[in-house]
């Protein structure tokens, strides 16, 4: 085990049209009990008041937190994909670790301190906590996401754990994306991940799943069962668009095929994968 004292964390806030959430989001990051090394705010060509709010918030941050590195980078054109903003964040981050804190989500003040504990094991490449679910107004809808990630009720998330990444894939992540929200994740900063993010851009629905799985091929995962991230679900965000659903289904099938080739999956997991496909119908 290694000491994490003074290890630098770069926080990336990717934003697109979340002006009304930005102030609270930034506040939830600045109040973390684990010190922040740098704050990078990205805007994907928002058409609301995001730009003005970000500029004002940065002025306040520079006055109140003069030691904090802070920058604002806006796009000239909308990228259309969250993964492209994740990639830009990793390109700009200079800290030892990267936390991609989505602009509309929130976090408890001890989130980062708890997530960083996972990295006491030097082989951990990705550490995340459980998430609660909130609505557009910040009201809690569910205390955790375990029911969604473990539909088969295997009990995988009953306890916090550190596990080999490949084993995690073989035991549950081969079925579905089991990390529901990037805001709950802290990554080691590895510029080799830029290649995986480039590859993830070919997906429109499961790029995050692809990225997590590629990282975990070469390290351990840490899971903290405390719900310290607040994942915001917006009304109308889930639709019955048949074309989108069919695309999602095709991409899951592609991921499943890749897992079958690369891993020694049990018959039980293979059956669960087939059942997952059957659940997704236009």
Question: How many residues appear in the chain?
Answer: 282
Output the domain CATH number for residue 111: 3.90.550.10
Is residue 17 assigned to a domain?
A: yes
Q: How many separate domains does the chain show? A: 1
Phi-psi region of 217 (alpha: psi -120 to 50; beta: other; left: phi over 0): alpha
Q: What is the pLDDT of residue 193?
A: 98
Is residue 263 assigned to a domain?
A: no
| DSSP code for 119 | G
Q: What is the pLDDT along the chain (282 residues), one digit of tens a residue?
A: 445 667 999 999 999 999 999 999 999 999 999 999 999 999 999 999 999 999 999 999 999 999 999 999 999 999 989 999 999 999 999 999 999 999 999 999 999 999 999 999 999 999 999 999 999 999 999 999 998 999 999 999 999 999 999 999 999 999 999 999 999 999 999 999 999 999 999 999 999 999 999 999 999 999 999 999 999 999 865 444 667 889 999 999 999 999 999 999 999 999 999 999 998 876
- Burial label for 204, CB within 10 Å (0-12, 13-18, 19+), is middle
Is residue 270 assigned to a domain?
A: no
Q: Residue 183 in contact with residue 231, Cβ under 8 Å?
A: yes
- Burial label for 32, CB within 10 Å (0-12, 13-18, 19+), is buried
**Alpha-carbon distance 19 to 141, whole Å?**
22
The torsion angles phi and psi of 228, rounded to 5 degrees, stand at -110, -10
Element spanning 50, H or E: helix 50-64
Is residue 276 assigned to a domain?
A: no
**Alpha-carbon distance 126 to 219, whole Å?**
8
| DSSP code for 22 | H
Q: Say if pTM beats, i.e. exceeds, 0.85.
A: yes
Among 226, 224, 227, 239, CA closest to 142? 227
Q: What is the pLDDT of residue 154?
A: 94
Q: What is the pLDDT of residue 219?
A: 98
Q: What is the pLDDT of residue 225?
A: 98
Among 185, 12, 35, CA closest to 94? 12
Is residue 246 assigned to a domain?
A: no
Q: What is the pLDDT of residue 237?
A: 59
The torsion angles phi and psi of 86, rounded to 5 degrees, stand at -60, -45
Is residue 244 assigned to a domain?
A: no
Q: What is the pLDDT of residue 4?
A: 62
Is residue 57 assigned to a domain?
A: yes
Q: What is the pLDDT of residue 103?
A: 98
Tokens of residue 108, six digits: 């408890």
Sign of CA dihedral 174, 221, 204, 132: positive
Q: What is the pLDDT of residue 281?
A: 73
Is residue 254 assigned to a domain?
A: no
Q: Residue 70 in contact with residue 10, Cβ under 8 Å?
A: no
Domain with 72 in it: 9-237
């Amino acid at each position: 085990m290694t000491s994490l004292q003074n290890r630098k964390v770069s926080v990336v806030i990717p934003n697109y049209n979340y002006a009304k959430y930005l102030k609270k989001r930034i506040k939830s990051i600045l109040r973390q009990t684990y010190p922040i090394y740098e704050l990078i705010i990205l805007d994907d060509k928002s058409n609301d008041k995001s730009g003005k709010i970000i500029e004002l918030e940065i002025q306040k941050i520079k006055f109140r937190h003069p030691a904090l590195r802070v920058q604002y980078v806006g796009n000239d054109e909308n990228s259309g994909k969250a993964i492209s903003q994740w990639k830009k964040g990793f390109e700009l981050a200079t800290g030892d670790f990267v936390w991609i804190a989505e602009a509309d989500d929130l976090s408890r003040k001890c989130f980062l301190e708890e997530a960083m504990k996972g990295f006491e094991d030097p082989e951990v490449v990705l550490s995340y906590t459980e998430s609660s679910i909130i609505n557009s107004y910040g009201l809690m809808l569910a205390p955790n996401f375990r029911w969604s990630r473990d539909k088969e009720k295997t009990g995988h998330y009953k306890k916090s754990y550190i596990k080999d990444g490949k084993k995690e894939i073989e035991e549950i992540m081969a079925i579905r994306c089991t990390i529901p929200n990037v805001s709950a994740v802290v990554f080691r900063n590895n510029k080799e991940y830029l290649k995986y993010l480039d590859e993830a851009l070919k997906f429109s629905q499961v790029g995050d799943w692809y990225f997590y799985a590629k990282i975990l091929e070469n390290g351990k995962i840490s899971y903290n069962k405390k719900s310290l991230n607040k994942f915001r679900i917006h009304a109308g965000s889930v639709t019955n668009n048949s074309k989108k659903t069919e695309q999602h289904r095709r991409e899951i099938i592609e991921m499943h095929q890749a897992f079958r080739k690369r891993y020694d999956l049990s018959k039980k997991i293979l059956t669960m994968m087939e059942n997952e496909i059957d659940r997704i119908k236009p």
